[in-house]
A = this chain, B = another copy of it.
Amino acid sequence: MARPREFDEDAVLDAAVACFWRHGFDATSIRDLVGQTGLTAASLYNAFGDKRSLFRLALERYIAGGIGPRLARYEAAPPLDGVRGYLDDVVARSLDDPANKGCMLVNAALEFAAQDAEFRPLIIGTFGRIEAFFLDCVRRGQGDGSMTRTLAAEDLALHCLAVLMGVRVLARIRPERAVLNGVVAALLAALVARPEEGRDGAADRSERGMT
- On A, residues with C-beta under 8 Å from B are 24, 26-27, 100, 102, 106-107, 109-111, 113-114, 123-124, 127, 150-152, 154-156, 158-159, 161-170, 172-175, 179, 182-183, 185-187, 189-190, 194-196
Shortest beta-carbon distance from A19 to chain B in Å: 14
- Cβ-closest chain B residue relative to A113: B172
A30 to chain B, nearest CB (A): 16
The complex is assembled from copies of this chain, and their number is 2
**Cβ–Cβ contact B169 & A165, under 8 A:** yes
**Chain B residue contacts of A24, Cβ below 8 A:** 111
* Interface of A, helix, strand, loop or mixed by DSSP: helix
Q: Are B155 and A183 in contact (CB under 8 A)?
A: yes
Contact A159 B173 (CB under 8 A): no
Q: A150–B109 contact, CB under 8 A?
A: no
Chain B residues in 8 Å Cβ range of A196? 194-196
Closest-by-CB residue of B relative to A154 is B182
Do the beta carbons of B173 and A124 come within 8 Å of each other?
Answer: yes
